[in-house]
Amino acid sequence: MVAYVFAVAAAVGVVALAALVFRKIGKGSEDTDPGGPSVAHAGAMLSALFLLAFAIAIIVPWTMADSARQNTQDESQAAVEAYWAAGDLPADSRDAVRTGLRDYLTFVVDTEWPLMAQGRLDPVGSERVDALRTQVAAIDTGDDEDAADTQDEVLDHVSDVSAARAKRGVDAGSTPPPGLLVLTALSGIIVVLLPMLAGARPRGWTLVPLLAMAGMLGFGIYLCWDIMRVFDGPLAVQPDAFRVALQEFARISGGV
């Protein structure tokens, strides 16, 4: 934060020093016109800065949401693969593993998903995955090599579920840099107030485009804030992949 303050102070100091030097040596001419070159240059640069910050503030959450959506797809698909593979386990073990997978996904959809809007996972979910892994590892396959191979396959898929869950936890807590939203809001406010800061006093119909621009900028800045969290807001990732996986569980069980 201190580095940011120094950077801003240094940039402002350069401009102030340059203005003082040019005044002392008598170069250039006075520029007090609200539509003069100083204001025109500053306005163009401020507009460009706002557009850059606004674009980044939109693109970053959008990209994060796409990545999170893919990670939920990977997690649910790993659970489906584990469910399929468990079908070759001994009957009692098969039913227990499949029940554990079904309970885990139901827990994620019904209990854990609302918590992710707050940027966190429920530790109970991790405990369920660990318990499932321990349960599969404890299956006694005896000398049956096929059953042992199936056990290893199910363990691999459960490990994939755990890895994808960890990514989902990172996604839930990820947000764009807070300074980005501050920069977007600050540059937007300055762009709106620039004519008045330059000395213009708009009246009558000249206020209409300024008010329209202010309204649009305000909406855009609110949108940037509203989509900052991956699992909350207009871009929120929904548990559709897990619901589809639960439907797939029912279809697979019906075919056994």
- Residue 197 is predicted with a pLDDT of 74
Of 43-57, 111-125, 189-203, give the lowest mean pLDDT range.
Answer: 189-203
Higher model confidence: residue 250 or residue 176? 250
End-to-end CA distance of the chain: give it in Å, rounded.
60
pLDDT for 58 beyond 80: yes
Question: pLDDT for 71-119, tens place per residue?
Answer: 999 999 999 999 999 888 888 888 899 999 999 999 999 999 999 988 8
In a domain, 14, yes or no: no
pLDDT for 33 beyond 60: no
Per the CB < 8 A criterion, the answer to whether 249 and 80 are in contact is yes
- Residue 16 is predicted with a pLDDT of 60
Task: List, in sequence order, the alpha helices (H) in the chain.
Answer: 2-25, 37-85, 91-107, 113-116, 123-137, 145-173, 178-197, 207-226, 240-254
In a domain, 2, yes or no: no
Residues 6+ apart with CB under 8 A from 158: 78, 82, 129, 132, 133, 136
Q: What is the mean pLDDT of residues 21-49?
A: 66
Q: How many domains is the chain built from?
A: 1
In a domain, 4, yes or no: no
Q: What is the mean pLDDT of residues 154-163?
A: 93
pLDDT for 196 beyond 90: no
Q: What is the mean pLDDT of residues 35-54?
A: 75
Q: Confirm whether pTM is higher than 0.85.
A: no
Of 37-41, 80-84, 91-95, 224-228, give the lowest mean pLDDT range.
Answer: 37-41
pLDDT for 160 beyond 70: yes
Domain that holds residue 111: 36-254
Q: What whole-number distance in Å separates Cα of residue 87 and Cα of residue 244?
A: 19
Q: What is the mean pLDDT of residues 126-152?
A: 85
Residues 6+ apart with CB under 8 A from 94: 86, 87, 88
In a domain, 183, yes or no: yes
- Residue 208 is predicted with a pLDDT of 83
- Residue 34 is predicted with a pLDDT of 59
In a domain, 137, yes or no: yes
In a domain, 16, yes or no: no
Portion of the chain with pLDDT greater than 90, in percent:
30
In a domain, 116, yes or no: yes
DSSP sequence for 106-174? HHIIIIIHHHHTTT---HHHHHHHHHHHHHHHT---TT-HHHHHHHHHHHHHHHHHHHHHHHHHHHHH-
Q: What whole-number distance in Å separates Cα of residue 177 and Cα of residue 184?
A: 11
In a domain, 26, yes or no: no
DSSP 177: -
